[in-house]
Amino acid sequence: MILVMGGAFQGKLRWAKEEYHLREGWIDGETCGMEEIWSCSGISRFHEYIKRALKLGVLTEEEEGDAFVRELYERNPRLVVVTNELGYGIVPIEPFDRLYRERTGRICTGIAAGAREVVRVVCGIGIKLKKAEEEKDD
C-alpha cells in the first residue's frame, strides 16, 4: 500500500497518477460506493470516505478503525491512498468534526505504519517520507 498525503489542492492526485503510472481504476472518496475501496487501484479524497463512513455510523470506535486498516491491507494491499492532511490549526468546536479529524489521523497512521511508501506532496512535488525497500539508500 502507498499513502500520499498533503494539503488541499497541492497536486496529490496528479502526482500519484504520474508517479505510479495509474491512470485508471481510481475512485473518489466523496462519491464512490463504500464497497468499491476493496477492489480499486487508488482512492482520492480518502478523508472524505472516512467522513462518509462516520456519518453512516461506521468507524466511530477506535477498534473499528484498526479493524478497517487490517481489512484494507488484507483485501486491497496494493491500494494507493490519497488524502488531505487534517489536524493543523484550531481544534473544531463540533464533536463530529473533532471525531472526524481524530479518526482520519489514526486510520492514516495505521496505513502509514504498514505502507510500502508514504509521500507528502507540496506544490506538486512529492517528498518520500518512507521509501520502498528497493529505493532505500545504503
In sequence order, which residues have a C-beta less than 8 Å from that of residue 28 and are 6 or more positions away?
A: 43, 44, 45, 48
Q: How confident is the model at residue 62 (pLDDT cuts 50, 70, 90)?
A: confident
Domain encompassing residue 71: 2-135
Q: What region does 3 belong to: left with phi over 0, alpha with psi -120 to 50, or beta?
A: beta
Is residue 44 predicted with pLDDT exceeding 60?
Answer: yes
Number of C-beta neighbours around residue 104 at 10 A: 24
- Given this model, what pLDDT does residue 135 score? 65
Q: What is the CATH number of the domain that holds 43?
A: 3.40.50.300
Q: How far is CA 60 from the centre of its chain?
A: 17
Domain count, the chain: 1
- Do residues 84 and 45 make contact, with C-beta atoms less than 8 angstroms apart? yes
Q: What is the pLDDT of residue 137?
A: 58
With beta carbons less than 8 A apart as the criterion, state whether 2 and 82 touch: no
Q: What is this structure's pTM? A: 0.93
